[in-house]
Amino acid sequence: MSAQWKSRKLISLSVIAVLCLMAAAAYGGYRAADNHPPEAVNLAAAQQGASGHNITIHACLASGNLTHMSVTAPPKCPAKSVPVQWTAQSGVASPAKPRPSSGPSARPSPSPSRIVAPTAPASTPSSPVAPSSPTTQGMACVTANVHSDCGPYSDPAISGSNGYSTYVSQDMWNPISGAAQTMTATGPGSWKVTADMPASNTAVVSYPDTQQIYTTSNNTPEPLSNFSSITSSYAESGPAGSGDDYEAAYDIWTSAGGNVQEIMIWVDDHGQTPAGSDVASATIDGVGYKIWSTSGAGAVGKTVSMVLDSNQSSGSVSVLDDLNWLKSGGYMPAGSGLGQLDFGFEICSTGGVPQTFTVSQYGIKASCASGSSCVS
């Protein structure tokens, strides 16, 4: 990764269970909490007095608390919370369908939205049901919104993909003046973005990617010791002009003892330099890497980038073997677990002209260690 660290949050699959178990969905079923003086949400006024008229309510959900409620726009949710939304009616109650409104990652908004919280709801949602059905692969999802996702998907090529844990994310997490990006996705292994990033820019603007969440239903990462293998395959392509500055890479989020760590595996670098310094070399399963660390050799729990000795626009990566090498070398804590495994492009510059970045194949194959269960 380039010198600027990007903040990406892991969202547990337990959120889905929480949404499915929300009882009697009046606000009495959840506690509305906010650290700021609440501003009333006037649902009746927002519905313009039309009985039976639908209105979408946005909020953030964490540990059974609803916060940052709004009828205007999805709020920027704090860490360890997930954006949700549901539909309510005036006069006549209708089934509410809370669901993740922006995929598995909470992302910064391009501009602050008006944050409101309810005093007494003017209409009462009825009992929530499960999130909406998984997105059908092959159907085109096109978006230019900086925070939008495509999915969720159920993909047999990805171990652990269950219809609510797999997304293709626009993830334009650091929008700058003059930057634009449009994503077209038909599935986790078939998507592209057309990006137009300012010439000579060296900070990462976006990380369009396929995201697979491995956080367990009890809000903990899946222990790496539960796996006997994790292998991922990919095929990607991008521009190769002198003004293009990007890399294709895995972005892996692990944690141990509540401390989150970012591990990157760079497979195709065009002009980028990882954060930190070059501290070691490694050969893992016959593949050569340079190891970059933000805090020196053997700094446990810090951001680490593993950079292939030569670019490969397609191939396979022994993810578990790479992570176990980092543990044995003191770069990862013992007892680390896997929260999220992503693959995509960190894009800085396209020379000021539109360029296309494509993922044409992607998969993750994982198997469980003997005597253990995992999300493979």
* Overall pTM > 0.85: no
In whole angstroms, what is the distance from residue 6 CA to residue 262 CA?
10
Q: Does domain 141-367 have CATH number 3.30.70.580?
A: no
Domain boundaries, the chain: 23-127, 141-367
| Per-residue pLDDT tens digits of the chain, which is 376 residues long | 544 434 343 444 333 333 333 333 333 333 333 333 322 333 333 333 334 444 556 666 665 556 666 656 677 777 666 676 554 443 333 333 233 333 333 333 222 222 222 222 233 333 323 345 788 888 899 999 998 999 999 999 999 999 999 999 999 999 999 999 999 999 999 999 999 999 999 999 999 999 999 998 888 899 999 999 999 999 999 999 999 999 999 999 999 998 999 999 999 999 999 999 999 999 999 999 999 999 988 889 999 999 999 999 999 999 999 999 999 999 999 999 999 999 999 999 999 999 999 999 999 999 999 988 888 6
Contacts of 256 (CB under 8 A, 6+ apart): 301, 332, 333, 334, 335, 336, 337
